[in-house]
Amino acid sequence: MKNICILTSGHPPYDERIYWKFALTFANNGFNTSVICSTMDISHQENGIFIKGFDGENLSKREKINKLKELLPDSDPDIIICCEPLTIIAADKYVSAYQKKCRILADITEWYPENVAFKHSGVKRIIWYLFLYLLNVYTVNKADALIIGETNKKRRYDLIAPFRRKIIIGYYPVLRFFEYSPLRLNDELVMCYAGLISFERGIKKIVEAAGMVAKKYPALNIRVKFIGKFQKPEEQASFLQFIQKFKNIKVDLTGWTSYDKISELLKDVHICFDLRIRNFIYNNSLPIKIFEYMAAGKPFIYSDIRPIREEFNYSACGQLVNPNDLSEICESVEKYIKDRELLAVHQQNGRKIIEQEKNWELESAKLISFISRFLT
């Protein structure tokens, strides 16, 4: 049996892609599988997957790299899948120190270095961007191959790592975790957002739209459901005050849930939303949750971005809007209220797209085939 270790310095060990997709796929295909992280103090075995980690929040980058390297011998990996540039350095140090015949693969799902550099402003942003860009070029060329989440991101790596093997393994949902739950619209309308909760993700606009629609349709009970956790405690406090103004709707905050449980929380939902502010990262990233909504049979109303338009026939199962235009958002909601058959058709079409072409069962077969090339 071959050993595969997934190494992360930025994600929790039960991250959707790391654990529920990659690790479970490897374990179910006969690989000795482990996950090592620097985001949680943990030592656990579950579903044939060994999970080890430490809390590296207060450690320097060098200390994190060394501790990740020190944990790798226990896994004795034949392949290390690295989720961030930092982990590629740790894996490379491990291979050099132990003279291991071990392949290093990078799993690229973020816009790096934008996702770090854009947290700063002015000259500091430029300095961080240049430094991290060069680090990214250096580290990905240390890897033997690149696994990339979507076509848009691959274009960059074709330029900075032209001689590295690449494959696109999408963000599509694990079908067996998503029950198809179409729902008729009668006297209640449930609108939903799932994921990390923050103001830049348009949560206020969702509530405002619900309030406006409720005024126009007073006989319709409208509930807004947020599944997830706030990124900033101060935004949570502010949001709780904000929703007090809306007496004609009900707002539910259900908290975070594990990937295999989210389908259950979507059963009473009619329409799902993501009205994020359109910045560089969002404009050039394919949202993950949109496919989960489709798998559960939930039409979506999303910010209008190019990656969605290029990925599939979105108009068959949802609508794209200007996230700053409250009237347009409300009109999109009203389409489903006025035309209940449209809601049913979009429910069916979304599920059909996932079943036929955009599911993890298909992606996992590609992943195993790609991985096997490095084990012969």
pLDDT for position 100: 79
* Same domain as 253, residue 124: no
pLDDT for position 17: 97
For residue range 62-87, list pLDDT tens digits in order: 999 999 999 999 999 999 999 999 99
* Same domain as 331, residue 195: yes
Q: How confident is the model at residue 20 (pLDDT cuts 50, 70, 90)?
A: very high
Rounded Cα–Cα distance for residues 186 and 332 (Å): 18
pLDDT for position 172: 97
For residue range 339-354, list pLDDT tens digits in order: 999 999 999 999 999 9
Torsion of CA 279, 282, 285, 288, to 10 degrees: 180
CB 111 within 8 A of CB 281: yes
* Same domain as 117, residue 28: yes
pLDDT for position 341: 96
pLDDT for position 1: 84
* Same domain as 199, residue 145: no
365: number of Cβ within 10 Å = 12
For residue range 193-205, list pLDDT tens digits in order: 999 999 999 999 9
* Same domain as 163, residue 60: yes
* Same domain as 244, residue 140: no
The answer to whether residue 99 scores a pLDDT higher than 90 is no
* Same domain as 274, residue 142: no
Q: How confident is the model at residue 330 (pLDDT cuts 50, 70, 90)?
A: very high
DSSP 22: I
For residue range 145-192, list pLDDT tens digits in order: 999 999 999 999 999 999 999 999 999 999 999 999 999 999 999 999
* Same domain as 259, residue 114: no
Q: Helix/strand/coil (H, E, C) string of 346-359?
A: HHHHHHHHHHHCCC
The answer to whether residue 376 scores a pLDDT higher than 80 is no
Percent of the chain with pLDDT over 90: 97
pLDDT for position 296: 97
Q: Give the global pTM.
A: 0.94
* Same domain as 186, residue 80: no
* Same domain as 343, residue 199: yes
- Radius of gyration of the chain from its Cα atoms, rounded to whole angstroms: 22
Rounded Cα–Cα distance for residues 308 and 285 (Å): 9
The answer to whether residue 38 scores a pLDDT higher than 90 is yes
For residue range 234-287, list pLDDT tens digits in order: 999 999 999 999 999 999 999 889 999 999 999 999 999 999 998 999 999 999
Residue 204: domain span: 176-356
The domain that holds 368 is classified in CATH as 3.40.50.2000
* Same domain as 161, residue 28: yes
* Same domain as 237, residue 89: no
Rounded Cα–Cα distance for residues 210 and 330 (Å): 8
Q: How many domains does the chain have?
A: 2
pLDDT for position 92: 96
DSSP E strand boundaries for the chain: 3-8, 32-37, 39-46, 49-55, 79-82, 103-108, 145-148, 165-168, 188-194, 221-227, 250-253, 271-274, 300-303, 318-321
Rounded Cα–Cα distance for residues 36 and 317 (Å): 38
Cross-sheet strand order for the sheet of 165-168: 39-46, 49-55, 32-37, 3-8, 79-82, 103-108, 145-148, 165-168
